[in-house]
Structure 1
């Protein structure tokens, strides 16, 4: 008798398909020099910029890999390095206007995916799916508690999660880390949205 696929794998398949759709939509609209690995790193950038070490932790990659990705993103005009106002010796990685211009395109594709899934499952089953996945965040989301304290509707998490899962297939094996919000602070809420929509 054939073994049923684990629920986690079923979620991964759907997540990867959605991430690939968003990524392809960006490519089709002119962002064809952006890789999944690079977009994975972009998901962790805060509105005012983020230190490279924090980006590496959020993307679960080695700092050396993060440095190489940021170098390529900077050369392509997606990010810039700026002084950290809190520490003159440190630098922050910040998204440029070019990266920000991809946000509405990513969100539009997400809305198309949601509508397609709703048509396929029906409105009631889609609500049940969302309710079940939201409940699972209580035991699977390392940032869930901090987000619930004032950012329960963080626009960033769903897209960030999809891109990060999809990127696992492109990048080298991730660095094993404990999901510790103190070491991997969640990205701050973007008032005008983000690629982490």
Structure 2
């Protein structure tokens, strides 16, 4: 096994286990930078999992059951996340205008603000990568990742995938 890893490294490629670790480290560096920025901008309590949940709520809102399905967690787990987000002021509950028996979770102005700041922050982080690596390399990296990523790779249940 060590010989194979050494052979891969000596032929200009890394060992197979390095690729997912490097991809994850890149992901982590982007997410960590985003959360440092958000903390400075008035959102110090935001965690990566909250971003997935806020995206899953979306502009139209969602019930706890819908949120659970979108995130790949139980209705109860989604409910706990909603309670945390509501306590932090990122979402609010409202009667569903189409079905008075249901409650919708909706983004509050604070929730919309953090998503807008996140989008702008991701643009800044990408621009930093372009400054360091060059526009062509970043575009090639993005293109290559689009080619290699599964069609359903952009799912909101990533936090539940990491947590088991």
TM range (shorter): 0.7 to 0.9
Q: Determine helix, strand or coil for the equivalent of 2:46.
A: coil
Q: Which moved more, 1:44-53 or 1:10-19?
A: 10-19
Q: Is 1:76–2:121 an aligned residue pair?
A: no
> For residue 102 of structure 1, what is the aligned residue in structure 2?
114
> For residue 37 of structure 1, what is the aligned residue in structure 2?
49
Q: Is the Cα–Cα contact under 8 Å of residues 51 and 115 in structure 2 kept in the other structure? A: no
In terms of fraction of residues, the more helix-rich structure is: 2
Gaps of 5+ in 1: 143-156, 175-197
Alignment partner for residue 27 of structure 1, among 8, 30, 39? 39
Pairs within 5 Å for 1:85-164: 85-137=97-149, 139-141=150-152
Q: How many residues align?
A: 152
Q: Give TM-score, length-normalised by structure 2.
A: 0.77
Q: Determine helix, strand or coil for the equivalent of 1:135.
A: helix
Instruction: Report Cα offsets for 1:159-181 as digits up to 9, x if no partner.
Output: x86xx65x469x7x34xxxxxxx
Gaps of 5+ in 2: 6-14
Larger radius of gyration: 2
Higher relative contact order (CA 8 A, sep 6+): 1
RMSD of aligned alpha carbons: 2.6
Instruction: Report Cα offsets for 1:67-97 as digits up to 9, x if no partner.
Output: 1111121122111111223322211110001
Q: Give TM-score, length-normalised by structure 1.
A: 0.65
Instruction: Report Cα offsets for 1:98-139 as digits up to 9, x if no partner.
Output: 1112233212321221112112322221111111222335x3
CA change 1:35–1:127 in 2 (3 A) is closer
CA change 1:61–1:17 in 2 (3 A) is farther
